[in-house]
Chain A
Amino acid sequence: MTKRLTCDVVVVGAGMVGAACALYAARAGLDVRVVDRGPVAGGTTGAGEGNLLVSDKEPGPELELALLSARLWTGLAEELGPAIEYEPKGGLVVASTPGALAALRDFAAAQRTAGVTAQPVEADRLRDLEPHLAPGMAGGVRYPQDAQVMPALAAAQLLRASGAVLHTGRTVTGVLRTARGAVRGVRTDRGDLHAPAVVNAAGTWGGDLAALAGARLPVLPRRGFVLVTEPLPRRVRHKVYAADYVADVASDSAALRTSPVVEGTAAGPVLIGATRERVGFDRSLSLPAVRALAAGAIGLFPFLERVRALRTYAGFRPYLPDHLPAIGPDPRVPGLFHACGHEGAGIGLAPGTGRLIARTLAGEAPELDLTPFRPERFDTEKGGTP
């Protein structure tokens, strides 16, 4: 092959994860292009809340990635702070019953051993932190490392900061490979882009992109509705949610589970989200879903009962069967790297993911062990984690 290369890396996907991959790859000295069939932040990124959470993660590889990302977000915020509406507001997880509180405290204790700052809050101090919180809660845990960004702005600003050439509205139709099977670029509906490395940051469509390269990656969509209220003064100060959220993330249930995270935003509206339903790519309004969100939010903050919702939107969170993302090189297709399947945590986990990808692209050792995230892990007989 003597074809001239377009660039060093093609990142497929102009969402939050693609933007972070582009940024850190560019900062590693690579010439990067980003291609997306839609606009910037047109998929999950544009339909999320912007949660940067460590509080909902149990000790393990995802938490390590979240902690790495939280540190990186702090640096990004110093560069881009107001432009991405970064707010290190902290999380407050509450429990309504003594039983739930005991489970929450145990969970927090384990998190602390993994490096999470988790501060128990007695029932009578909850309203010091959140004056409008419903009375009668059993207690809670405060997580100062939880933070917030405006996800679409964050993706757009990171892409801009990366200096990468951006091709939006351009669909990847194939992955170009050498006779020996290595990646040599992508084919798009508007010409080929040649590069020795391709990063799959296609989110919910990551499985489709992997398939174009002949690799199996079982990414599935999980629907989430978010409610947005009228603009309010800052009445909700933290990211506040009920303790059953933790159990819900790893749930395999296809039924609707209520676990609203309630939070104020820099722009004024309160965000309430998100539901988690496995219904494929169905975007149509589900009143039972928004009903559950509204009821859950009012349960936490009774003043919300008379506050009006201006809109609701649905997004699709990409997940893999073991609820861990796929990050790193694909041994089945040399030159193909995956950075997708982050479920509802992609905004928070993006910088860490981008950094790990950039390190491996540059041939350096990544900060974290990539074994739990390896993309070929579903090739075993049963499909689950071997």
Chain B
Amino acid sequence: MTERPHLAVVGAGPAGLAAALAAAARGVRVTLVDAAGQAGGQFYRQPAAALGARRPKALHHQWRTWERLRDGLDRQRSAGRIEHLTDHHVWCVERLTGDGTFGVHALRGPAQEEGVTVRADAVLLATGGYERVLPFPGWTLPGVVTAGGAQAMLKGGLVLPGRTAVVAGTGPLLLPVAAGLAAAGARVAALVESAGPAALLRRAPALAGQPGKLAEGAGYATRLLRHGVRTLARHTVVAAHGTERLTAVTVAALDGAGRVRPGASRRVRCDTLAVGHGMLPHTDLAETLGCTLSGTAVRVDAEQRTDVPGVWAAGEATGVGGAGLALAEGHIAGRSAAARLRGTAPDPRGWAAAARSRTRLREFAAALDAVYAPPPGWAERVPDDTVVCRCEEVTAGEVRGAVDRLGAADLRTVKLLSRAGMGWCQGRMCAPGVAGLTGCPLTAGRRPFARPVPLGVLAALPESD
């Protein structure tokens, strides 16, 4: 009797769950490795069990889909086909020389101090994404949080950051965040979106192909109206104010070219600013494995295979496109991996519906990307004394100096000469800002450790075969 092939799925959000379920249903042993205490990822983040939430649905959208995923996971776990490792923070996936299998190296527990390695025949990376926030004066003040961060704290911890919030930036995440905060009892003083309605209209054909998505947006808009939330399209937050914590923001109107209209700014009192400018994929594990990236996302083929044998990727890691796209990609990736692990070629006809959905949702995501681009000129508006690298406290002036005075011309050299990106977060937070300020292209940073690793864990790594 031969042992069933073993697939490690990294990430238990929509993509990872869809992949794990698809693969497990086809006879593959799956280990689902995830950093959170419960499955769901960012989109379906669940309140901690001890909080006893009897109606978590009130915090979520597309709850039916979640129930299907959750019940599927429960069934496959009971049947012993999926092992779900929670609180496992993967810091590196290693392709073992010799047999071509993989070692998934993780840190266990919220403190991330204990090392554990999962061996697998193949790996499926569903590592998701994180929020892009561009710098502005005051963005380091306590009370300024990412839009996704405010949502994560609400969904997972059932807490609000403050009493009066402004939600600002650009992108499709802002609407649900504003609606969620308002529903949970926060006063949302304004939703500030830099894109204008005209930009949405220009992309109307691509967007109209997704009536469900548009209805979803309209639903949020209705909820915002019900809560009396003022939406300021083609506006931007140019500064956050306060000394020890946020007390107000300055909101300015933008002209058709995305520049601040002189004299058209106002101060809005608030203790919370939830801000975001879109999402970026988590690609560290893929890059260290040697997978080719395209732009800032992992490149995959029609089966969601990367160009490294035995490594699949799905969801935001392969390009930001939302939960629906992640589900479609995850499903295809899981089926492909199952077939390939059993030594057969998969039949794409089996996932035709998912493939159609993938095509449509990728087009939709591309259209949204074009609509929700950060307004031109944002970088020139950042004064030299604004901190850009939050970890190392490197200012915009120092970042500019690395280019103007010291001759840097790419993100890595800017980092070496200014320390922007050398700190705890390894440039995840500041890289988009630094790229914008310097005109250097935004490239995925090379981060062999996807998260900090205690030296004791490194020293105790198993000897390679």
Q: Indicate if A touches B (C-beta under 8 A).
A: yes
Chain B contact-residue range equals 35 or more
Known contacts being A156-B407, A166-B407, A169-B409, is A306 close to B92, with CB within 8 Å? no
Residues of chain B with a CB closer than 8 A to A313's CB: 446, 448
Known contacts being A285-B92, A312-B449, is A307 close to B407, with CB within 8 Å? no
Q: Is the CB of A291 within 8 A of B458?
A: yes
Which residue of B has the minimal Cβ distance to A231? B423
The reply to whether the CB of A311 lies closer than 8 angstroms to some CB of chain B is yes
Min distance, Cβ A310 to any Cβ of chain B, angstroms? 5
Known contacts being A39-B410, A39-B413, A160-B405, is A308 close to B454, with CB within 8 Å? yes
Residues of chain A with a CB closer than 8 A to B447's CB: 311
How many A-B pairs have beta carbons closer than 8 Å: the answer is 116
Partner of B455, one of A169, A287, A308, A311: A308
Residues of chain B with a CB closer than 8 A to A169's CB: 409
B421-465 to A contact mask, C-beta < 8 Å, 1/0: 011101000000000000000000011110011111011010110
* A58, B448: Cα distance in complex, Å: 35
* A208, B392: Cα distance in complex, Å: 38
Residues of chain B with a CB closer than 8 A to A153's CB: 406, 416-417
Q: Is the CB of A311 within 8 A of B448?
A: yes
* A101, B331: Cα distance in complex, Å: 62
Min distance, Cβ A4 to any Cβ of chain B, angstroms? 26
Q: Is the CB of B455 within 8 A of A41?
A: no
Min distance, Cβ A181 to any Cβ of chain B, angstroms? 33
Q: Is the CB of A152 within 8 A of B454?
A: no
Of A104-112, A195-203, A294-302, the one touching chain B:
A294-302
Min distance, Cβ A386 to any Cβ of chain B, angstroms? 40
* A290, B460: Cα distance in complex, Å: 11
Q: Is the CB of A298 within 8 A of B455?
A: yes
Q: Is the CB of B452 within 8 A of A308?
A: yes
The reply to whether the CB of A46 lies closer than 8 angstroms to some CB of chain B is yes
A289-329 to B contact mask, C-beta < 8 Å, 1/0: 01101110110000011111111110000000000000000
* A294, B449: Cα distance in complex, Å: 14
Q: Is the CB of B455 within 8 A of A305?
A: yes
* A269, B391: Cα distance in complex, Å: 13
Q: Is the CB of B412 within 8 A of A288?
A: no
The reply to whether the CB of B295 lies closer than 8 angstroms to some CB of chain A is no
Residues of chain B with a CB closer than 8 A to A380's CB: none
Q: Is the CB of A42 within 8 A of B413?
A: yes
A233-245 to B contact mask, C-beta < 8 Å, 1/0: 0000000000000
Min distance, Cβ B125 to any Cβ of chain A, angstroms? 16
Q: Is the CB of B455 within 8 A of A307?
A: yes
The reply to whether the CB of A171 lies closer than 8 angstroms to some CB of chain B is no
Q: Is the CB of A287 within 8 A of B92?
A: yes
Residues of chain A with a CB closer than 8 A to B456's CB: 294, 298, 304-306
The reply to whether the CB of B408 lies closer than 8 angstroms to some CB of chain A is yes
* A311, B446: Cα distance in complex, Å: 9
* A156, B105: Cα distance in complex, Å: 37
Q: Is the CB of A305 within 8 A of B422?
A: no
Q: Is the CB of B461 within 8 A of A287?
A: yes
The reply to whether the CB of A188 lies closer than 8 angstroms to some CB of chain B is no
Q: Is the CB of A294 within 8 A of B409?
A: no
Min distance, Cβ A275 to any Cβ of chain B, angstroms? 13
Residues of chain B with a CB closer than 8 A to A41's CB: 413, 416-417
Q: Is the CB of B407 within 8 A of A168?
A: yes
The reply to whether the CB of B288 lies closer than 8 angstroms to some CB of chain A is yes
Q: Is the CB of A291 within 8 A of B459?
A: yes
Partner of B461, one of A14, A160, A291, A305: A291
Q: Is the CB of B455 within 8 A of A297?
A: yes
Min distance, Cβ A214 to any Cβ of chain B, angstroms? 31
Q: Is the CB of A267 within 8 A of B412?
A: no
Q: Is the CB of B407 within 8 A of A285?
A: no
Residues of chain B with a CB closer than 8 A to A22's CB: none
Partner of B407, one of A39, A227, A293, A304: A39
Residues of chain B with a CB closer than 8 A to A231's CB: 423-424
* A34, B251: Cα distance in complex, Å: 47
Residues of chain B with a CB closer than 8 A to A227's CB: 455, 458
Which residue of B has the minimal Cβ distance to A153? B417
Q: Is the CB of B452 within 8 A of A309?
A: yes
Min distance, Cβ A140 to any Cβ of chain B, angstroms? 22
Residues of chain B with a CB closer than 8 A to A310's CB: 423-424, 426, 449, 452
The reply to whether the CB of A230 lies closer than 8 angstroms to some CB of chain B is yes
The reply to whether the CB of A360 lies closer than 8 angstroms to some CB of chain B is no
18 contacting pairs across A/B (C-beta < 8 A)? A39-B409, A39-B410, A40-B407, A41-B416, A42-B412, A46-B413, A153-B417, A267-B422, A284-B288, A285-B92, A287-B458, A294-B456, A294-B459, A298-B456, A309-B449, A309-B455, A310-B424, A311-B448
Known: A41-B416, A46-B412. 8 other contacts (CB 8 A): A39-B412, A42-B412, A160-B405, A169-B409, A267-B422, A298-B455, A304-B456, A305-B456
Task: Please list the residues of chain B having a beta carbon within 8 angstroms of any beta carbon in chain A.
Answer: 92, 94, 105, 113, 288, 290, 392, 405-410, 412-413, 416-417, 419, 422-424, 426, 446-449, 452-456, 458-459, 461, 463-464
Closest 4 pairs between A and B when the two form their complex, measured CB to CB: A294-B458, A152-B416, A305-B456, A308-B452
